[in-house]
Amino acid sequence: MTSNDNLRALALVCSLKPTPAESSSELMAQQVLDALGTHGVDGECVRVVDHDIHPGVKPDMGKGDEWPWLREKLRLADILILSTPTWVGHMSSIAQRVLERLDAELSETDEQGRPSMYGKVGVAAVVGNEDGAHKIVADTFQALNDIGFTIPAQGGTYWNGEAMHPKDYIDLEETPKAVASTTKSLAANAAHLARLLKQEQYPAD
């Protein structure tokens, strides 16, 4: 498998703000996608709050549930970017719902009996003008790993604003160097790992 093999990324933006409101989480997700693009990875952002994602832990929660549509996009992706704001020190309720819906994948398998998310890479992007990014990244990684995703080295990028200051990530005149550097490393490692996994999938039991 060569570096030219096609990879796809899906960024699930877990902002509480529906489109067309500006979103710091979407901005950071797009920056991750742009960085992945330099490694030959195509991708798209989906703002989850724009869709009716029912609560539950099944792949399809019935009439009106739009999760199956998102699930199909994820099935075709090699890399998942979960991008969330920080609210009262935690990921958004939208991000939590995404993880709850992904829990159904524990009982879904491929034709060789492997959990359905095996071979996919998961990364996290977190923004907020309050503390909590490290905890959110840790919780996200634990959940994604349990579900079957593989986490690359330095697979999380984040920005925390000054404590008790109203400025948001989207209000910055330029991306801080540390954030840009971390996002660059995340993208390089995620693309590298995704190619390796696409070349040689985990063994079936």
pLDDT of 1 reads 37
Q: pTM of this prediction?
A: 0.95
Q: Is the pLDDT of residue 2 over 50?
A: no
Q: What is the pLDDT of residues 62-98, one digit of tens each?
A: 999 999 999 999 999 999 999 999 998 999 999 999 9
Question: Could you tell me if 33 and 67 are in contact, meaning their C-beta atoms sit under 8 angstroms apart?
Answer: no
> For 109-165, what is each residue's pLDDT tens digit?
988 999 999 999 999 999 998 889 999 999 999 999 999 999 999 999 999 988 777
Half-sphere exposure of 112 (CA within 13 A, CB side): 9
